[in-house]
Chains A and B, each alone.
Chain A
Amino acid sequence: MESEPQHAPHEGSAPGPTHIEARGLFYTRGGRAIFRGLSCSFPRGRISVVAAASGGGKTTLLRMIACLIRPDRGEILVDGASELTGMSDADVRAFRRRVGMLFQFGALLDTMTLYENVALPLREHSRLSEEEIQREVRRVFDAVGLEDVDELLPGELSGGMVKRAGLARALIERPDILLCDEPFSGLDPPTVRRVEDLLLRVNERVGATMIITSHHTQSTLRLADHLVMLLDGEAVEGRPLELVRGSDARVVEFFREPERSEGDERARGRVAGEPRVTPR
């Protein structure tokens, strides 16, 4: 087994060259302006976390990078050159071959076994033989820590296993961009920990540019080399510790430990053995 990666909040390695850049994105849906001239960049080979309050546009941004939606205005550049937003269908298809995406609920095909799901990209795009495909599937299952799951259907998996399986599928074609939509949602704390470690390990081994959306402040701080915070339709970005302790009050507020609330008081009382007090 691997050695445990750092548990302390990530200092963040120096930001590398920009791999993906968003410039001046505008996007309105249902009368609500989601992006109002949003610009940000994602360094190559690093883990970037896109954080926002719920509904802030994290998933929308990720889907735009994945070319699943187009912005009303603005552009997204890859390696400073090819403009994602204006690409033809054939170019989009070529781009996606380099991208692996982990969806929030796995998005595995629920009528197919896990093996079939993970093998699908290879079956569709490559001319590998059955044995070679088996080897590749074994490789990614090992990388994500799944064993004996070949014949299971997605409906039979726990939340953590679904994320791992989705990640395995995203990794099987050795992408250089990995997009993860809310990888920690719906997981219990120990599993969140495991998924965090997994993502760190993947980044170390595979070296892909990873863009993760999350509103889990803890995980964000633990994983991010680069933090992009979506606020009021625009982005504030930088190294996580700088932003969190920095001058923008909105970011500081988002990452602050919550005040003691009345709920905490009552919970403390219950733990100490006091009878429940009914408010008068």
Chain B
Amino acid sequence: MTPFGAVSALGGWTVGAVRDLGRFSVFSASVADAGRRPPLRLRRLVAEVYDTGVLSLLIVCVSGFAVGMVLGLQGHNTLARFGADQQLGAVVGLALIRELGPVLTSLLVAGRAGSAMAAEIATMVVTEQLDGLRMMSVDPLDFVVAPKAFAMILSMPLLSTLFVLFGILGGYVIGVVVLGGDGGAYMSTLEDAVEFSEDVLGGLIKGGVFGVLVGLIATYRGFTATPTSAGVSSAATSTVVIASVSTLIVDYFITALWGT
């Protein structure tokens, strides 16, 4: 490809990306608007929270526990070198509450519930179910998309919290039960180091923001999928990729801003 060709391809790609971003913003605004307006469709919201939240419990809690165990092990090894292994509770707790809880939960949920959500909506596009709704003068954004997106926003901070709690437990099991650390010191250093407004609130806000990101990305990719079976799988995979990368990038910005 000539240099000219490469540059103009880049330009074309950028224009396309900006246009896509614009469409995504319009979509998000419409979803927010649809969610705000009555009827509130609580029955559907509950059903979606089940699919998104309850069905993700297993993967989130098991992973949280496992990550907590690793933190317990690594933390203990490192802290022991400085004679500070009493601080294990604080180390495990802070790492989980501020960063690992919200971020890892978001990645896991994007993979499990996000891709499922995108695939489900994309399949509804293929099978003309969304057109069917339109022909009945029912807005698919209001009936199908908004409950799913809001379910994700609601579930994410809750799941993130459970990830953290299981992680703290995992750290305790390794640091105290297995490696013989001081259980009381674990909990008290944890309590001393963790601050509500610095750490817990920041973590919850991250959870909420990631919920919004994953929810909107998943529903958008599903909604705009090409109506073929390749389109459905592409909706699912692109959701995981985009949602994961966005989570990590946004995480940086929130961390930077929250710290000030």
Residues of A within 8 A of B (CB): 63, 66, 68, 93, 96-97, 99-101, 103-105, 107-110, 120-121, 124-125, 169
Please tell me if the beta carbons of A96 and B135 are within 8 angstroms of each other in the complex: yes
Contacting pair B137 A96 (CB below 8 A): yes
Is the C-beta of B127 less than 8 angstroms from some C-beta in chain A?
A: yes
Let me know if A93 and B131 touch, CB within 8 A. no
Whether the Cβ atoms of A108 and B132 lie closer than 8 Å is yes
- On chain A, the residues within 8 Å of B178 by CB distance are none
Partner pick for B131 among A99, A103, A124, A169, CB 8 A cutoff: A103
Distance in angstroms between the alpha carbons of A11 and B131 in the assembled complex: 34
Considering the chains assembled together, what is the distance between the CA atoms of A279 and B128 in angstroms? 46
Q: In the complex, what distance in Å separates the CA atom of A154 from the CA atom of B127?
A: 12
In angstroms, Cα B132 to Cα A121, docked, is 11
Q: Which residue of A lies closest to B134 (CB)?
A: A68
Q: Which of A96, A99, A107, A120 contacts B128 (CB 8 A)?
A: A107
- Knowing A107-B127, A110-B127, the reply to whether A101 touches B132 (Cβ < 8 A) is yes
B138 contacts partner chain A, Cβ-Cβ < 8 Å: yes
Contact of B136 with A by CB under 8 A: yes
Identify the B interface with A (CB < 8 A): 124, 127-129, 131-138
Q: Is the interface of B mostly helix, strand, loop or mixed?
A: helix
Contact B136 A96 (CB under 8 A): yes
User: Nearest Cβ in chain A — how far from B36, in angstroms?
Assistant: 18
With a cutoff of 8 Å between Cβ atoms, the chain A residues found around residue B128 in the complex are 103-105, 107
Most buried by A among B132, B133, B134: B132
Which residue of chain B is the closest to A103 with respect to CB atoms?
Answer: B128
The CA of A11 and the CA of B128, in the complex, are separated in Å by 34
Q: Residues of A contacting B129 with CB < 8 Å? A: 107-110
Please tell me if the beta carbons of B131 and A107 are within 8 angstroms of each other in the complex: yes
Contact B138 A97 (CB under 8 A): no
A-B contact pairs, 13 of them (CB 8 A): A68-B134, A93-B137, A96-B137, A99-B135, A104-B128, A105-B127, A107-B127, A107-B128, A107-B129, A109-B129, A120-B136, A121-B136, A169-B136
Report the Cα distance A110→B123, complex, angstroms: 10
- Given A105-B127, A107-B127, A110-B127, CB of A97 within 8 Å of CB of B137: yes
**In the complex, how many angstroms separate the beta carbon of B79 from the nearest chain A beta carbon?**
51
Inter-subunit contact B137/A109 (CB<8 Å): no
B224 to chain A, nearest CB (A): 15
Give the CA-CA distance A236 to B131 in the complex, in Å: 28
Chain A minimum-CB-distance residue to B132: A107
Q: Max chain B CB contacts within 10 Å: which of A63, A103, A107, A108?
A: A107
Cα–Cα distance between A110 and B128 once the two chains are bound (Å): 11
Given contacts A105-B127, A107-B127, contact A124 B138 (CB under 8 A): yes
B52 shortest CB reach to chain A, Å: 14
A124 surroundings in chain B (CB, below 8 A) = 136-138
How far apart are A54's CB and chain B's nearest CB, in angstroms? 17
Q: Kindly state the separation between the CA atoms of A61 and B246 in the bound complex, as whole angstroms.
A: 41
Contact B131–A68 (Cβ < 8 Å): yes
Q: Which 4 A-B pairs have the closest CB atoms?
A: A107-B132, A107-B128, A101-B135, A121-B136
* Nearest neighbor of A124 in chain B, beta-carbon distance: B138
Contacts of A107 in B (CB 8 A): 127-129, 131-132
Hey, which chain B residues are within 8 Å of A109, CB to CB? 124, 129, 132-133
CA distance A120 to B132 in the complex (A): 11
A60 to B1, CA, bound (A): 39
The one of B124, B134, B138 in contact with A120, judged by C-beta atoms closer than 8 angstroms, is B138
Distance from A251 Cβ to chain B, minimum over Cβ atoms (Å): 29
Give the CA-CA distance A132 to B137 in the complex, in Å.
21
> For A108, what are the chain B residues with a Cβ–Cβ distance below 8 Å?
129, 132
> Taking CB as reference atom, which chain A residue is nearest B142?
A124
Residues on the B chain within 8 Å of A120, using CB: 136, 138
Residues on the B chain within 8 Å of A97, using CB: 137
Minimal Cβ-Cβ distance residue in A for B131: A68
The closest CB in chain A to the CB of B47 belongs to: A111
Which residue of chain A has its CB nearest to the CB of B51? A111
Q: Closest CB of chain B to A252's CB: distance in Å?
A: 33
A127 to B163, CA, bound (A): 45
A125 partner residues in chain B, CB cutoff 8 A: 137
CB closest residue in chain A, given B120: A111
Residues of B within 8 A of A93 (CB): 137
Smallest CB separation, A125 vs chain B (Å): 7
**Contact: B127 with A96, CB < 8 Å?**
no
Q: In the assembled complex, which residues on chain A have CB atoms less than 8 Å from the CB atom of B127?
A: 105, 107, 110
Between A93, A96, A109, A110, the greatest number of chain B beta carbons within 10 A of the residue's beta carbon is seen for A109
